[in-house]
Structure 1
Amino acid sequence: MAQPRDAEEQRINRIFGSYLYIFPSLLVFTGIVRTLYTAYRSHHLPRTDPESRTPNRRVYPPSALSSLFSRYIKYPALFGNRHSQPIGWYTFPTRLEALLVGIYWFINISFLFVKHGNADNGIDGSKILADRAGVLSLWNMPIFFLLAGRNDFLVWLTGWSYGTFHVFHKWVARVSALMGMVHSVAYAVYMYQIGDEARRWNPAYWWNGVSAMIVMGLILVLAIFPFRKKAYEFFLITHIIGVMVFLIFLYHHLKLSATRMYNPWLWACIAMWAFDRFTRLLRILILNYGAFSRNPQNHHLARAKFVKGTDVIQLTVYPSAEDVNYFPGAHYFVFLTGTWRFWESHPFTAAAWRPSGPMMPAYNAADIHKIKRSLSGSLKNSGRELEIKCLIEGAYGVNHPLHLYETVVLIAGGVGITTILPYLCDYMERARGSERRTMTQRLVFLWTAKEEELVENLVSKRFPRGCLTRRDISMQLYVTKMKPGQTEFLPGVKYKRPDIGEILRAEQARLVGKMSILSCGPSVLVDIVRTAVVDCLDKDRKHIEYFEESY
């Protein structure tokens, strides 16, 4: 009777493993519906009058339930006012992300213990628990492999940020590791209970499983925030090598099992990893095909220089392709093939794209310390613009639908301006002429930076012409660090820290229609903006949507 009972337990385990995918599928379906609705609204924009203060659609105030949800669940940080800033060794998700993660963990733990009615004694119970935990661990693996890649197609389908998917990637991986640990411990107990019978088992089967579990634990330990922050390249290399070693051990563990029915989930993980790597290689070849030509004249160079008076590096890239799929908020990865650290990829946000060049000026915003480590010595020693060989990969990111809101508030800190500035240019392009392709009637542009030279450089060279004098655009520029004895100041610039809460409350008071807020900058700034948005939601029932990009 043991074999039929084992077969029945395996069938039940596979059913519960499949049920794991219901909740994530519902979340993805919700995101797809939201994306389709946004696309429909974008293609059916009502005619707008830039001089009118009345929205061109009927806007009802949000329901009390919707306001409470946004105020207490959707936007607040999980603990206090720190979301992007770490608390100790960890950066915590938002309350909404934590709630969704908690539900998913509850489902996993519930499935681990329900319907164990075929256990006749403690020995059977240990084996059934071990098998159930092993199935749940394995069924979770394709999810966190999918969410780990740069080319996660769920980002395109749902419009959610990479940051959101990385939160789910980490927590799904952790629950998978927890189930793997339960699987290992429960089987150890089972082998102790059966005594001499355990000697008939293949030792390689046991040790491959134990080794896979140990490697998975090491991967999780080396992925904690201090390692990622202080030694990112070490984290990345150990992460990639660790995952490869883990998959090898897991492959041999499953290969020696009594059944091969679990192999498809392992191959699904390998296929997702291979798809991401192949797509990244394809992106590099498409954007940089001239770099692989035998003709040296086709080899394009990037130009790097310090913005005078700052530690900010401006990088101007000349890719081979005429179309780099540029959009507001797009970011790319650059490989400095002319340096000995050619394998490192540095993320940067493109501030502009001129296809007639082609040319892509950018200020590295996401990982400036790494690119400085590779370039700053050469740049400072030369004291001039430096030409370097490079390859780019992209575009990645999300184009937030800010044009569907009557009021748009853009908030940038430091080199976060590279993410925010393209949205200003996009608004001015959409608002040009009689056929306006935007519902936005008022745009507030707030930029705060330490260095006066950075503000002067970008305002004079990168800001769209006429943006400083338009009545529908409120330009608010702040410099937070004055030079000793400074007597000359930039016109239109305030030399102080902005009161972001007061600015948002003022815009909320005059709001007619819906308002979107996008912030990008250091973790301290985006946490201040998030807190101010939550406070605004507590004051009045108005439609406010918050988008965040941090570095």
Structure 2
Amino acid sequence: MLKSFVIEALAASLFSCGVLADGNGLIGWGITMYDPPCAFACRGVISKCTLLCTPINGTVNHGTSHHPVSTPPECFTTDVAFMRTMALCINTYCPTNGAPSLSKIEDYWYGHLGTGTVGNYKWVPSLSYIEALQGAKEDELNGVEFPNTTSTSVDEHAGHNMLRARVLRRHENNSNLPTIKSKQPLNVTSVISASDWRSQYNGMVTFETNEKGHSTYTIILTLVALLLPVALSLLRFVPGLARSKGWSYLNSVLNYPAVWGSSHREPVAMIAGGGLTPTRGQALYITLISILNIVFLAAPYIYLYPQSIFGSRDEQNISVMGCRAGVLAVGNMVAMFVFSSRNNLLLYITDWSHSTFLLLHRWLGYWTIIQTVLHSILLLVYYVQFGDYAAELASLYWIWGIVATVAAVAIWVFSLLIVRQKAYEFFYITHIILIVLFLVGYYYHIWYRYTYNWGYEIWAFIAIGIWGKDRILRAGQMIYHGWRTAKITSVEGSNGEYIRIDIDGVHAEGVVYLCFPTLALNFWQTHPFSITSSFARHGPACSESMAKSTVQDSEKQAEAEITVASPNQSDVASTSSSSRPHGVITRASIVVRTRSGITSRLAEKLAKAGTELRLPILIEGPFHSSVSSQLSQCTTVVGLAGGVGITGVLPYLNQFGSPRNGRLYWGMRDSSLKNALATELADLPSSIQVETAIGSRLDVESIIREELASRNSGGLIGIVVCGPAGFADEVRRQATDLTKRGATTAPYILIDEAFSW
């Protein structure tokens, strides 16, 4: 399971070292880079030495983009001098540096001698390790002679003068063999100096250890982001905890209030693009994720010097931190995609709302963007100072990294609250396009740099899988519910401010999304609607047209009416949805306030059509809501509604009922909504008391004080609020402030039933 959590940064480039990997999964989690490192270090010293079979003036690169090698793999596996030199080096340094078994050495010999990087058994050495080692020992004992070569070959391999090598090198390595240096011609069995080998060994061990850290810390970050909501939600199963007054006080201090000020639902700082202030509970989660992002980016790292990969600590810091930022970016990305999913499994496991997950989705998105930009900037600095920036700039992997980085930054710009509220359709389409560009850019950034050798692509596959799965499920839900027809009418007496949408043949609970494919050019868009109540009446087996006619004839009867409306009163309403069994008549009704976007289009089209408008719709959902489960442990429920927000409270009051008590406080500007929902109000259980205020504001402070003090029956009280942002924030502020001041005595839970983009 852990292998499926991993990623690498999008943006500019990854790391300067071009080595690849063995295994499946992530580096350190199924993939090894240098195993055994003592053998890889031997080959690292002489990988760029020209052999007798190396093509003269060859143009084909058999290595990586950052570590080109002109010698083809089959040359390494047939050149006797190279194989004997390798065997002698392995035998010299491996026994005291990890002491790998003979079987591991032989596996390396047959899988890596030709490639030097990721294992490939295609190129089988002409000598076994034991044969090469025996030959090297004989050469060390008897000395070596240079092969007879043509003048061209002699020129190509100039520098290995046999006599001078024996005289000058014997004192250095106490051997009859010459000492080989990187990039020198290698045409006889040679020894590798301890300093050269140690430099390679330190570089490889350091690099792989830090790469393992990239994987490990990103997995930790992803798991914490995904599993922390599950762990925290388990507190609801602690016996008696929710009904404890101390727990209510703790929530009033650390969970429910806005992290600063008194606005949670109301946007702040609109001049800068706007945003929603998290609650203190949400802020604790955001703070933990932020700390992990910072700490894991800053440390820990391992440093070993001297080494062959980095010339200085500054060079290493810039490169390795740039890579770490890239991997952490996609760790945040995976959790971000999970939280944005409408079919998010965490909605069913936890008692957290979809609005909370969407808010946290945005904060995970911020960290994805921050780490992506840091990845790009740090690697840019690295290649400008220590690499070949001009060459990198022309590379396809670099270009696709730029695409991903630009898309990530653009996602933030076009997702500002002011854009979402003022131009939702623009936000919606640009969000999808930029997400696709981000994923495509990231995938090709990895592909052109590493193909599938290091496992970085796994993170992209996870994100694409989550995103694709959600959309497949959503499409399947639409197909399941089928093509339906919505009847749109104006709420009488509202002067077009409120409209009603009736849908026959659907029945469900929770939240659904509606699509109006013929309403506008952006036919693919869906809009959220929370379900107020469900209607399903058994009747005689009849055709769909007969059932529809029967429902229309009994439209004014209580059992035939279900009203639903948007929790946030802005382009959202609610509806029920599921299939209509044979012989069962179902209907859902929606009441929504006309604002900008989809509701304004519906109102305009209704005005042109006259008294009634019929449009085809597709239904997506229903989606889970945690409100009912949270209220199940309450002995009393208090609903506070403002305007059309009544439809976000009614369904829970309907479900509550006798023998438990409930009260509804509803404030509205005029009586049109009250008249339109008279049947729904009359259908409330007899144990639910209703108080309305027409043309005046509810006295929230008095209501909260009375409900949490004088009317306290000793049980847990559930406060459900739905209405304008300012109204909901006022309920939150009064409940928490009164509890913190000790002015209330009852334990309570606060539920803000709202949908916020």
Residue matched to 1:417: 646
In structure 1, the residue corresponding to 2:487 is in which secondary structure? strand
AA in 2 matched with 1:156 = Y
For 2:718 and 2:531, locate their aligned partners in 1 and report how far apart those are by CA, in whole Å. Answer: 22
Q: CA deviation at 1:138?
A: 1.8
Q: Deviation string for 1:386-429 (max 9, x for gaps)?
A: 2221111111241423232122101111111112111222123x
Q: CA deviation at 1:254?
A: 0.4
CA RMSD of aligned residues (A): 2.3
Residue matched to 1:520: 722
For 2:241 and 2:388, locate their aligned partners in 1 and report how far apart those are by CA, in whole Å. Answer: 77
For 1:415 and 1:197, locate their aligned partners in 2 and report how far apart those are by CA, in whole Å. Answer: 59
Q: CA deviation at 1:124?
A: 1.5
Residue matched to 1:50: none
CA change 1:354–1:67 in 2 (3 A) is closer
Residue matched to 2:487: 303
Structure 1 residue 446 and structure 2 residue 665: aligned? Answer: yes
Residue matched to 2:597: 370
In structure 2, which of residues 606, 609, 612 is the aligned counterpart of residue 379 of structure 1? Answer: 606
Residue matched to 2:587: 359
In structure 2, which of residues 442, 446, 460 is the aligned counterpart of residue 266 of structure 1? Answer: 460
For 1:537 and 1:237, locate their aligned partners in 2 and report how far apart those are by CA, in whole Å. Answer: 44
For 1:125 and 1:519, locate their aligned partners in 2 and report how far apart those are by CA, in whole Å. Answer: 51
AA in 1 matched with 2:503 = V
In structure 2, which of residues 234, 238, 262 is the aligned counterpart of residue 81 of structure 1? Answer: 262
AA in 2 matched with 1:420 = V
Equivalent residues of 1:408, 1:444 under 8 A apart: yes
Equivalent residues of 1:209, 1:249 under 8 A apart: yes
Q: CA deviation at 1:547?
A: 0.4
CA change 1:25–1:373 in 2 (3 A) is closer
Equivalent residues of 1:82, 1:527 under 8 A apart: yes
In structure 2, which of residues 730, 747, 751 is the aligned counterpart of residue 543 of structure 1? Answer: 747
Structure 1 residue 192 and structure 2 residue 384: aligned? Answer: yes
Q: CA deviation at 1:191?
A: 0.7
Structure 1 residue 343 and structure 2 residue 524: aligned? Answer: yes
How many aligned positions are there? 485
CA change 1:196–1:232 in 2 (3 A) is closer
Structure 2, unmatched stretches of 5+, are 1-199, 305-311, 538-584
Residue matched to 1:313: 499
AA in 2 matched with 1:309 = G
Q: CA deviation at 1:249?
A: 1.1
For 2:486 and 2:352, locate their aligned partners in 1 and report how far apart those are by CA, in whole Å. Answer: 31
Q: CA deviation at 1:339?
A: 2.4
In structure 2, which of residues 707, 717, 722 is the aligned counterpart of residue 507 of structure 1? Answer: 707
* TM-score normalised by the chain length of structure 1: 0.83
CA change 1:225–1:465 in 2 (3 A) is closer
CA change 1:224–1:544 in 2 (3 A) is same
Structure 1 residue 533 and structure 2 residue 735: aligned? Answer: yes
For 1:391 and 1:345, locate their aligned partners in 2 and report how far apart those are by CA, in whole Å. Answer: 9
Residue matched to 1:29: 230
Q: CA deviation at 1:200?
A: 7.0
Equivalent residues of 2:700, 2:734 under 8 A apart: yes
Residue matched to 2:122: none
Equivalent residues of 1:307, 1:314 under 8 A apart: yes
For 1:352 and 1:104, locate their aligned partners in 2 and report how far apart those are by CA, in whole Å. Answer: 38
Q: CA deviation at 1:340?
A: 3.4
In structure 2, the residue corresponding to 1:309 is in which secondary structure? coil
For 2:231 and 2:212, locate their aligned partners in 1 and report how far apart those are by CA, in whole Å. Answer: 30
In structure 2, the residue corresponding to 1:448 is in which secondary structure? strand
Q: CA deviation at 1:201?
A: 8.1
Q: Deviation string for 1:486-521 (max 9, x for gaps)?
A: xxxxxxxxxx32101101111112212211100011
* TM-score normalised by the chain length of structure 2: 0.61
AA in 1 matched with 2:258 = A
Structure 1, unmatched stretches of 5+, are 42-56, 292-299, 481-495
Equivalent residues of 1:522, 1:550 under 8 A apart: no
Q: CA deviation at 1:263?
A: 0.8
For 1:355 and 1:301, locate their aligned partners in 2 and report how far apart those are by CA, in whole Å. Answer: 17
AA in 2 matched with 1:77 = A
Equivalent residues of 1:61, 1:541 under 8 A apart: no
AA in 2 matched with 1:524 = G
In structure 1, the residue corresponding to 2:751 is in which secondary structure? strand
AA in 2 matched with 1:317 = I
In structure 1, the residue corresponding to 2:739 is in which secondary structure? helix
CA change 1:103–1:185 in 2 (3 A) is same
For 1:114 and 1:514, locate their aligned partners in 2 and report how far apart those are by CA, in whole Å. Answer: 46
For 1:58 and 1:182, locate their aligned partners in 2 and report how far apart those are by CA, in whole Å. Answer: 43
Which range moves more in the overlay, 350-359 or 108-117?
350-359
AA in 2 matched with 1:246 = F
AA in 2 matched with 1:364 = V
In structure 2, which of residues 237, 254, 279 is the aligned counterpart of residue 94 of structure 1? Answer: 279
Instruction: Please show how residues 88-127 of structure 1 align to structure 2 within 5 Å.
Output: 88=269, 89-118=274-303, 120-127=312-319
CA change 1:59–1:100 in 2 (3 A) is closer
In structure 1, which of residues 494, 497, 521 is the aligned counterpart of residue 697 of structure 2? Answer: 497
In structure 2, which of residues 237, 245, 249 is the aligned counterpart of residue 62 of structure 1? Answer: 245
Equivalent residues of 2:222, 2:334 under 8 A apart: no
In structure 2, which of residues 647, 650, 655 is the aligned counterpart of residue 426 of structure 1? Answer: 655
Equivalent residues of 1:77, 1:95 under 8 A apart: yes
Structure 1 residue 462 and structure 2 residue 680: aligned? Answer: yes
Q: CA deviation at 1:58?
A: 12
In structure 2, the residue corresponding to 1:165 is in which secondary structure? helix
AA in 1 matched with 2:413 = V
CA change 1:122–1:534 in 2 (3 A) is same
In structure 1, the residue corresponding to 2:407 is in which secondary structure? helix
Q: Deviation string for 1:323-381 (max 9, x for gaps)?
A: x4x23xx222211233234323232233332223211111136x853233222123223
For 1:30 and 1:227, locate their aligned partners in 2 and report how far apart those are by CA, in whole Å. Answer: 34
Equivalent residues of 1:31, 1:157 under 8 A apart: no
CA change 1:337–1:3 in 2 (3 A) is same
Q: CA deviation at 1:315?
A: 0.4
In structure 1, the residue corresponding to 2:454 is in which secondary structure? coil
Residue matched to 2:320: 128
Structure 1 residue 165 and structure 2 residue 350: aligned? Answer: no
Equivalent residues of 1:284, 1:391 under 8 A apart: yes
In structure 1, which of residues 3, 9, 15 is the aligned counterpart of residue 216 of structure 2? Answer: 15
Name the % identity: 27
Q: CA deviation at 1:180?
A: 1.2
AA in 2 matched with 1:285 = I
In structure 2, the residue corresponding to 1:463 is in which secondary structure? helix
Equivalent residues of 2:268, 2:277 under 8 A apart: yes
In structure 1, the residue corresponding to 2:597 is in which secondary structure? helix
For 1:204 and 1:228, locate their aligned partners in 2 and report how far apart those are by CA, in whole Å. Answer: 34
Equivalent residues of 1:67, 1:541 under 8 A apart: no
Q: Deviation string for 1:436-477 (max 9, x for gaps)?
A: 5xxx2x211111111211112212x2224475xx4x432111
Equivalent residues of 1:34, 1:158 under 8 A apart: no
For 1:68 and 1:145, locate their aligned partners in 2 and report how far apart those are by CA, in whole Å. Answer: 34
Equivalent residues of 2:654, 2:684 under 8 A apart: no
Structure 1 residue 6 and structure 2 residue 207: aligned? Answer: yes
Instruction: Please show how residues 198-217 of structure 1 align to structure 2 within 5 Å.
Output: 199=391, 203-217=395-409
AA in 2 matched with 1:450 = R
CA change 1:302–1:34 in 2 (3 A) is farther
AA in 2 matched with 1:350 = I
CA change 1:508–1:192 in 2 (3 A) is same
For 1:420 and 1:60, locate their aligned partners in 2 and report how far apart those are by CA, in whole Å. Answer: 22
In structure 2, which of residues 621, 626, 651 is the aligned counterpart of residue 394 of structure 1? Answer: 621
AA in 1 matched with 2:692 = L
For 1:219 and 1:454, locate their aligned partners in 2 and report how far apart those are by CA, in whole Å. Answer: 39
Q: Deviation string for 1:206-225 (max 9, x for gaps)?
A: 22112211110011111001
Residue matched to 1:403: 632
Q: Deviation string for 1:145-204 (max 9, x for gaps)?
A: 111121111111112111110111111111121111111111111112224487378621
Larger radius of gyration: 2
